Amino acid sequence: MNERNIMDYETVALDDANNALVIIDQTLLPGRTELISLHTAQEIWDAIYLLKVRGAPAIGVAAAFGIYLLAKQIQTDDYAVFYEEFRKQKDYLNSARPTAVNLSWALNRMEQVCVQNQDLPVAEIKDKLKAESILMKEEDIHVCKAIGEYGLTLVKPGDGILTHCNAGQLATCKYGTATAPIYLGQERGYHFRVFADETRPLLQGARLTSYELYSSGVDVTLICDNMSATVMRNGWVNAVFVGCDRVAANGDTANKIGTSVVATVAKRYHVPVYICAPTSTIDMNTPTGADITIEQRPAHEVTDMWYEKPMAPAGVKVFNPAFDVTDHDLIAGIVTEYGIAREPYTESLREIFALKKAGKGICP
């Protein structure tokens, strides 16, 4: 174990001098903290697909840094040639994970830099791509803090909070989304009691959420996914905060597999479920959760990954969706950097984007 606290590391960083995207290899946590440098399109694609970098906001920033570095390597002064190669690299990175809308959002935003500055020399376009990628990281930190401020208004000191998967600092550049209210509350003496689902099959809650919360001094208890009903029935949970990888226009949300189970149980025990979602995660072009593509992961993640020997019979069929959809009627509110959206989400999400367009409402 590295002696430094995991919270002292940057989840995603740009090493421009060495033409590298630097990330924490999250597949090795919590046993080993290792920073890895990515230089090629294949390395960046693999890191996203293999979950070495994961979490919607962190994926977006990694993609922005990555496409800048790949654009930097394109050796031409001809804009048409440059843009054609840029598009190839963009489309390749975008294929790494289909459900997380931040990946395509970040890459599309970087592409707009190219399109809007096509009359400039290619060297200047590269400089603007670098500036945009750095701005996106700075914005992520600001956005997460704002989500934390709004989320903190939904709970009170001493409350019990349950979270699923990892929507913490390791999934963003700082604060996290679902953990942002927890970290801000920790700074202000709220003394929350947090329950972290282990989150099968990849154990992001066990390996990542409990690790970073414990390292930060938060009162965190790790539970198996099938224990959430028990802690809610016992009255130990006052609110559920989770992140998400895509929000549909009607308020349905796609998050790590098991989130819909938590939300269904929470409704039974009258515990409000709040989705912490940057507006970059809200896809108004996706009408409902039924329209969200759900990534299917390899069978070995269920049968073999965490065991010395396989824990299932050889050849058994495995269904391993990475995400599930939580229906909007199970959600008490969607916490964004521009405020909290509530039912009917078709209206309130439009209002959130109106605030964003007007530049109003974000917490300082």
Q: Please give the positions annotated as active site.
A: 245
Q: How far is CA 69 from the centre of its chain?
A: 22
Angle formed by the axes of helices 122-152 and 79-94, nearest 10°? 30
Q: Before 344, cis peptide (omega within 30)?
A: yes
Length of the chain counted residue by residue: 364
118-125 CB contacts, 8 Å cutoff, 24+ apart: 118/79, 118/83, 121/77, 122/74, 122/76, 122/77, 122/78, 122/79, 122/82, 123/77, 125/71, 125/79, 125/82
Per the listing, tokens 């963003």 go with 172
Classified as helix, coil or strand, 15 is: strand
Question: Which is it for strands 239-242 and 160-163: parallel, antiparallel or unpaired?
Answer: parallel
Instruction: Give dist(CA 214, CA 5) in Å, integer.
Output: 10
Q: What type of residue sits at position 229?
A: A
Instruction: Give dist(CA 114, CA 124) in Å, integer.
Output: 10
Is the separation of the CB atoms in 222 and 341 below 8 Å? Answer: no
Cα–Cα separations (whole angstroms), residue 44 to 53, 56, 214: 9, 15, 30
Instruction: Give dist(CA 3, CA 80) in Å, integer.
Output: 49
Dump the DSSP string for 162-204. EE-S--SGGGSSSS-STTHHHHHHHHTT---EEEEE--TTTTH
